[in-house]
Structure 1
Amino acid sequence: MRGAIRIFLVFTLLAVVIIEGAAWMQRHRQDMPWAELDLTAPPGRFTAAKIAGLGEDAPRCRALLAAAGNQSRPAPARRPSESCGYEDGTLLSLDIAPSPGGLVTSCPVAAALSVWERQVEAESQRLLGTGVRRFVHAGSYSCRRLYNRTDGPFSEHATADAVDILGFELADGRRLSVLRDWQGRPEDAAFLRAARDAACRVFSTVLSPDYNAAHRDHLHLDTANRGPGGWRACR
């Protein structure tokens, strides 16, 4: 009788563990490497790598954007050289609009921005008590090497897999600049860092004024594809 009771208790415990484990996995699907990428879900541990991987499958990238309700649309391909250009150019359409408008990025960057903008809006409401109307940028595509050197690796900008963020225009009319406000009022500085940290969850590389002087006036965000187990930078 005691043996039967022990067996019953063991199976009951296993059932509870399985049920709780399944519920946890459902709540944290984006933390699972095998889960399908969902651009409407909060970013998880593997979201950035999955987004970067979309650079190898433009049709899937565009389908995921459409499924998320994003109105970004394809832009003409651009391939001036073997090292520069893109086939998956995407004309951005976001709730937080790019300024100036007409910004074209690679599709993975568009996908990452579509997730990031929701995090930025939430942080702005939490820290500043207002929403974000626009993000001010310094462009995406630029056929150049890292730090504009004459030799060495090409920048992710050379394939439109990067975008530089200069600041934000808030819904109440205020403007925040990375250059001016990174060390400005505590609440403004906190928001800019929160925007940087949110980007770290969806981009492969995020570089800010905390990294070096070359990034004193902007946040560099890119979707370099380093594979599922590849390194990421958030500084």
Structure 2
Amino acid sequence: MILLAILGCVLWAGYSWLLAHPEHNPSAPLDLRHPVGMATATKLAALKDDVSECRAVLERSDVGFAALEPIGEGVCARPDRTQLTQFPFAPNSPPATCAVATAMELWRTTTVEPAAQELFGSGIARIEHLGVYFCRRLYGRSEGAWSEHATGNAIDISAFVLEDGRRITLLGDWDGDAEEQAFLRRVRDGACGVFATVLSPDYNAAHADHFHFDQDGRWSGVCR
């Protein structure tokens, strides 16, 4: 009886701890305002094939977005076009898959903003991108696998503009001053926890001027 009582207390303590820490609780609904925890990656991965739940996460997290009409056909059809309406994108806010939009918001709040404040003492005014949708195969080849850009399931990030006016670019600052280098590598590494694929200038020359982020169906994680 004593052992059962002890076991009961341990189980209750564990259950109570999970209730108090939903970021570690696999059964708790994902909320992007919570810290990143042990269950976050699994919850994000589940959103890739569940657009309705993904958009429910954005609503639950009080993230502004618009659900746009599907367009296209064949391999480049875009049944999921989710546009963040309050994200500091430049030059525009491009429609992407909901999984990409959700990961972008989580990356901004948990990695990009804290890194900018810590290293530069400034917030982020704009995050510049080179586009989301492009109906093409990988590297523009005439055959082979299709790019995640072909369905809007990827985004290329080229620069960050701070509230103090400083602009940090992949092309100019990846090997620049120590602070800029540290910032760009920190935001790259932080993206690896929320995107399936993260490619940077360390990967190859084709990515010298941008980060490539996508939500490929795998979840082994590619971070280079």
TM over 0.5: yes
Gaps of 5+ in 2: none
| Counterparts of 1:225 and 1:153, CA distance in 2 | 14
RMSD of the TM alignment (CA)? Answer: 2.1
Query: What does the per-residue CA deviation read over 1:73-114, in whole Å, with 9 as the maximum and x for residues that have no partner?
Result: 0122122x311121110122234x110113111111111111
SS in structure 2 at match of 1:138: strand
Matched, 1:103 2:121: no
Letter of the 2:108 partner, please give it. E
> In the alignment, what sits opposite 2:54?
61
Counterpart-to-counterpart distance in 2, 1:65 and 1:24: 25
Instruction: Give the CA deviation at 1:16.
Output: 5.7
Q: Is the 8 A contact 1:49 1:204 kept in 2?
A: no
Q: Quote the Cα distance in structure 2 between the aligned partners of 1:23 and 1:201.
A: 26
CA–CA separation in structure 2 for the residues paired with 1:49 and 1:154: 25
Q: What is the CA-CA distance between 1:69 and the residue it aligns to?
A: 1.0
Identity value in percent: 43
C-alpha separation between the residues in 2 aligned to 1:105 and 1:127? Answer: 30
TM-score normalised by the chain length of structure 2:
0.89
Instruction: Name the residue aligned to 2:145.
Output: 153
Rg (Cα) greater in structure: 1
Q: Greater RCO between the two (CA within 8 Å, min separation 6)?
A: 1
Residue pair 2:19, 2:25 contacting (<8 A) in 1 also: no
- Matching residue within 217, 220, 223 for 1:231: 220
CA distance 1:47–1:149, change in 2 (3 Å): farther
Q: Which is worse superposed, 59-68 or 122-131?
A: 59-68
Amino acid at match of 1:135: I
* 1:129 aligned residue (118, 121, 137): 121
Greater mean alpha carbon deviation, residues 165-174 or residues 18-27? 18-27
The residue number in structure 1 matching 2:182 is 190
Matched pairs, number:
223
Q: Closer, same or farther in 2 for the Cα pair 1:39/1:129, shift >3 Å?
A: same
- State whether residues 85 and 160 of structure 1, in contact with CA within 8 Å, keep that contact through their aligned partners in structure 2: no
Task: For residues 20-64 of structure 1, give each alpha carbon's deviation from its aligned partner in whole angstroms, at most 9, with x where no partner exists.
Answer: 533553455434544432222222345344334323222222221
Q: 1:93 to 1:200 in 2, by over 3 A?
A: same
